[in-house]
Amino acid sequence: MVRQQMESRDIHDPRVRAAMRKVPRHKFVPRALQSVAYADCALPIEQGQTISQPYIVALMTQLGLPGPKDRALDVGTGSGYQAAILAELVEKVYSIEILRPLAESASERLEKLGYRNVQVRCGDSYRGWSEQAPFDVILVAAAPDHIPPPLIDQLAPNGRLVIPVGTSRQELLVVEKGATGKAHRRKVVPVAFVPMTGEAPRTKGPK
Ligand SMILES: C[S@@+](CC[C@H](N)C(=O)[O-])C[C@H]1O[C@@H](n2cnc3c(N)ncnc32)[C@H](O)[C@@H]1O
């Protein structure tokens, strides 16, 4: 998977490639899909949700520039796969999932696989996780139509937020907060994520 889907594209960070090699993706997909776990596509998981395409997980991780001493927020735990990848690369991962059955099964799965540096919480991530902020890296796997302001607020100075934004057309954005707290955003690539539910669709974004 790493040779065919990462090295031939633009995944050049050796730490990210190593994490993608190490985490057993087949343990994060439903049993019936284990034989295609490493295919170059997103796959369905429980509750009508998806585990993202491996390349997109690697790309978002690489864009987040995770460092060994970093604290990361993972939004949209789903299967827990992205949280596990991050857990290989940072000191501590906080992960939020809005659907309780997914939060519970991902938490059990991560525990069984020995990930002691991941904490999963069931809740709406629109407001982030203020008790554990600030975060050096925030990766979001569900698309709102605007960037939730609390996620920018909860970025540490020099922190990076990677988030799909849009409805019918979505763009993956990177928001970098400078040392002085000023945020700068850039578009990376068109993407297709499940919509962010909860408060996001009921809230008008800032102008
Ligand atoms: C593409 S899936 C996540 C894939 C996941 N990162 C993985 O590795 O399997 C998006 C997830 O975001 C969750 N989600 C959607 N809106 C949310 C919200 N407001 N707060 C937290 N989770 C949310 C969905 O329930 C879904 O499980």
Query: What does the pLDDT read at residue 160?
Result: 98
For residue 187, the cross-strand partners are: 173
Ligand 1 pocket, residues with Cβ under 6 angstroms: 49-52, 75-76, 78-79, 81-82, 96-99, 102, 124-126, 141-142, 193-194, 196-198, 200
| The token pair that represents 25 in the structure block | 């993706």
Q: Which atom of ligand 1 is nearest to the CA of 78?
A: 27
Q: How many angstroms separate the alpha carbon of residue 77 from the centre of ligand 1?
A: 5
Query: What does the pLDDT read at residue 78?
Result: 98
Burial 122-160 (b: 16+ CB within 10 A, else e): bebbbbbbeeebbbbbbbbbbbbeebbeebbebbbeebb
Q: How many angstroms separate the alpha carbon of residue 85 from the centre of ligand 1?
A: 15
Q: What is the pLDDT along the chain (207 residues), one digit of tens a residue?
A: 878 888 778 999 999 999 999 999 999 999 999 999 999 999 999 999 999 999 999 999 999 999 999 999 999 999 999 999 999 999 999 999 999 999 999 999 999 999 999 999 999 999 999 999 999 999 999 999 999 999 999 999 999 999 999 998 999 999 999 999 899 999 999 999 999 999 999 998 886
CB 148 within 8 A of CB 123: no
Query: What does the pLDDT read at residue 80?
Result: 98
pTM (global) more than 0.95:
yes
Please say if 52 is a catalytic residue. yes
Which of 196, 199, 202, 203 for mutating ligand 1's site (highest number of atoms within 8 Å of CB)? 196
User: Of residues 52, 79, 105, 125, which has the active-site annotation?
Assistant: 52
Query: What does the pLDDT read at residue 165?
Result: 98
Query: What does the pLDDT read at residue 8?
Result: 79
List all residues 6 or more positions away from 91 whose beta carbon is below 8 Å from its beta carbon: 68, 69, 70, 71, 117
Q: How many angstroms separate the alpha carbon of residue 52 from the centre of ligand 1?
A: 10
Query: What does the pLDDT read at residue 135?
Result: 98
Query: What does the pLDDT read at residue 191?
Result: 97
For residue 118, the cross-strand partners are: 93
